[in-house]
Amino acid sequence: MKKIIYRPFILTLIMILSLVTVLQFSYGYFDSLSGSKSSTINIGDWHNNQPTPNDVVDYVENIKFPEDEDMAEYILDILGDYEDGEFVIDEVYEDYTMSEIIEIIELINEFTESFLETENGEIVFKDIIVEPVEVTSVANFSPGDVQYIKQVIQTAEFATDPWWTPITFQLQLSADPGIDITDFSVEILFDLNPFTVTTPFAYDFKVNDPNRDHYKTIIQTDIGSNQTSNLPAIGTISYINRAFNVTQNQFLRFKHEYNAPSITGEWRRFPIGPNMYFNSPTTGGQWSGSRQQFYTENEPTKVAGMTLSGRNDGGMVEMLFSFNARKPRNSNSLPVIPIVIVISRAVEVDANGNDLPNQRTDLISPEIKLRVVKGNIYNNNL
């Protein structure tokens, strides 16, 4: 592959990027702490510039991976194609700014280090069930705070495998023992751009609560691909969860509210997800003493949005979903699926949805771990 001499302005851009902190959005499985407020630091319009194809090649080959030609080639294969000797950015990324291109490259690289391996010159999923990876950029939250963390799901060898080959994404939510995080919720949004618009993918999902009797799965279902694309994340998104509070001996209601992400992408909510509540203590079964568990609401059992709420004791709960029957936008568009993890801490509301005058004042940083493996939610023993 012919090397292209990098331009001085790219070096300048990278130097500036190293000095700037964006408070609203985080990215990377191991990156540093970011704030949860909706403010940003802007320095002119340099970060809004869309790169030329040569700019992308310059950065990948000469700055990010100057001594790793295989990884540079792998990244460029994801971001575009060579046509008549000239690099062309894939339409999925053609609206990205240079800073967003750099972000997506970092995410792909970190995902590869966390969940993939090289086999016979190809980057593939590991044959073992890898350990979950902690997201280290989670902020400290007061009630009403929201944080957006951009991530990717990389399909590796499944990008060229049969379109029905599934990949499973797992998210775990917990806190330090004894910390009440029933007012926390995590929602996953996906970028429609890599998929066909009308039938992007089918999916299965389930929610696990290890504190339940015997079988830990609370709810599971499968959703056809014709239902997936019709719930854009636009404007203000709001939903209410409930959880039983032992101290007050009553159910509390928590309103989660956030604005749709402003980062580049056609962000969609999952059209069908679990509708759950954290119940009052029960006794018996395989447990000694009482414990609280998640249960499915009777009506409806499923609602819009793929969300997961926290436990009152900081114990771990998890949701899993598998991308099945993926339909690519073009022949090169599905190696990477951008997602956004929306973490919100709710305000407590009354039965009419009105904010209560007295809210919690403690700062809490929940723990979030991620894992991506090949296969669907039924055959991974997760």
Q: Are residues 75 and 91 in the same domain?
A: yes
Pair of tokens at residue 264: 């580049």
Residues 330 and 347 in one domain: yes
Q: Give the separation between CA 173 and CA 186, rounded to whole angstroms.
A: 8
| H/E element, 79 | helix 69-79
Q: Is residue 379 part of a domain?
A: no
Greater confidence, 211 or 150?
150
How far is 89 from 51, CA to CA, in rounded Å? 9
| Cis before 200? omega within 30 | no
| Least confident stretch, 64-78, 168-182, 185-199, 277-291 | 277-291
Among the three residues 107, 123, 139, which one is the final residue of a domain in this structure?
A: 123
Q: Residue 123 pLDDT > 80, yes or no?
A: yes
Number of domains comprising the chain: 2
Structural domain for 276, as ranges? 129-374
- End-to-end Cα, the chain, rounded Å: 41
Does the structure show a pLDDT above 60 at 286? no
Predicted pLDDT of residue 11: 42
Q: Is the confidence at residue 210, as pLDDT, over 90?
A: no
pLDDT band at 221 (very low <50, low <70, confident <90, very high): confident
> 109 with 142, same domain?
no
Confidence of residue 380 (pLDDT cuts 50, 70, 90): low
CB contact set of 374 (below 8 Å; sequence gap of 6+): 125, 158, 165, 166, 167, 168
Give the per-residue pLDDT at 37. 37
- Same-domain check for residues 109 and 139: no
Identify whether residues 257 and 346 lie together within a single domain. yes
Closest of 172, 158, 207 to residue 324, by C-alpha: 158
Token pair for 206: 């389930």
**Is residue 48 classed as helix, strand or coil in its secondary structure?**
helix
CB 222 within 8 A of CB 204: yes
Residue 41's pLDDT band, with cuts at 50, 70 and 90, is very low
CA-based nearest residue to 245, from 185, 307, 181:
181
Instruction: Check whether residue 135 and residue 247 sit in a common domain.
Output: yes
Structure tokens that stand for 308 in this block: 């997961």
Same domain, yes or no: 113 and 188: no
Query: What's the whole-number mean pLDDT along residues 334-363?
Result: 94
| Backbone phi, psi, residue 369, to 5° | -125, 145
3, part of any domain: no
pLDDT (average), residues 231-236? 94
The SS3 call for residue 103 is helix
* CB 143 within 8 Å of CB 252: no
Same domain, 58 and 192: no
288 vs 283: CA distance, rounded Å: 7
